[in-house]
Structure 1
């Protein structure tokens, strides 16, 4: 049952995000009420992903090498940095159009490198696929992009600091949940 909930959660989360791109007229007809419905669907998707992932039986697909943990931690830190860059206009913010989706891709690849079980492959592979398809859909719908102005390296550093703090908080939560993210 865990795998079904996991897949359903990914589908709800992705579908909720893609409605605007795949059926813009229908989405526009829903008005503000539609935003609420889609938000609830996406939130339900996240809940189902968590419940499904935690309830999925362990099926080992491959055993990741221990050194991948270092690479994964770096990729997660980069992912948080890109999330911060979506609100803080550093020079990287002017180079990368889809900062949050780039952050999700970095986070997903990191988790795929260190988790070789089937549930992890479905969850993190699904989130990676969602982010890649989302970039394609957005670029197709809006081929031009207005780059942020008044960017600076100082703002890059500020965004990195925010990302590092978020990374530390999430690492602490992982540790609290019993998933120690740092190698000995």
Structure 2
């Protein structure tokens, strides 16, 4: 569990640093971007190792139907995450599509995992994403909506979402818990 918590901190601090101390971040220049990238990768590695190595401490037993809801939420999470860089007409309607994707991903995983390590990992990422949204909105109350997009961009987002979702499900199926009810 300590590696999991350390990973969450190593992931969250560099991400929040830009939002909570933008002047200090700007003073560090572009050299800091490489350090942030290394910290983020290290945080992910620590989270994976910490999560996989954590003792299973059950807190509750989710009902089986939550797997179906989580599968649907994951499809939305992948779409939201992709929306942030898409040419979809939907892009201009949501201010924080990637962070909303992380929130959707975290909630979905909390629905089907009732153990302590899952609550720490997915709850921690959920808290990070919510704090990020609040920090961005506090610093930049006004936002310029993205203009543009096309039907082709919507279709491309849909196709990419399904392909990425299938890849994630395949990896999940390969390394551990099946993402689909048996």
Return the alpha-carbon distance in structure 2 between the equivalents of residues 146 and 153 of structure 1.
22
* Distance in 1 between residues matched to 2:140 and 2:109, nearest whole Å: 30
Matches within 5 A, 1:9-88: 9-88=7-86
- Match for 1:158 among 151, 156, 159? 156
Deviation of the 1:154 alpha carbon: 4.1
Q: Would you say the 8 A contact 1:89–1:148 is kept in 2?
A: no
2:111 aligned to which of 110, 113, 136: 113
Give the conservation status (yes or no) of the 8 Å contact 1:83–1:163. Answer: no
TM-score (ref. length: structure 1): 0.94
- Aligned residue pairs: how many? 182
- Describe the superposition over 1:75-124 as per-residue Cα deviations: whole angstroms up to 9, x where unpaired: 00001011121121323211111111111111111000000000001000
1:4 and 2:21 aligned: no
CA apart distance, 1:17: 0.4
Cα displacement (A) at 1:36: 1.2
Residue 52 of structure 1 and its aligned partner are, at CA, apart by 0.5
Query: What is the alpha-carbon distance in structure 2 between the residues aligned to residue 153 and residue 53 of structure 1?
Result: 40
Q: CA RMSD in A?
A: 1.2
Counterpart position of 1:173 = 171
> Distance between the aligned counterparts of 2:148 and 2:36, measured in 1?
34
Deviation at 1:29, TM superposition (A): 1.7
**2:124 — aligned with what?**
126
User: Which deviates further from its counterpart, 6-15 or 21-30?
Assistant: 21-30
User: TM-score scaled to structure 2, two decimals?
Assistant: 0.95
User: Which segment drifts farther, 12-21 or 140-149?
Assistant: 140-149
More divergent stretch after superposition (37-46 vs 99-108): 37-46
Moved more, 147-156 or 78-87: 147-156
1:134-153 residue pairs with structure 2 within 5 A?
Answer: 134-153=132-151
Any unmatched runs of 5+ in structure 2? none
Deviating 4+ runs (over 3 angstroms): none
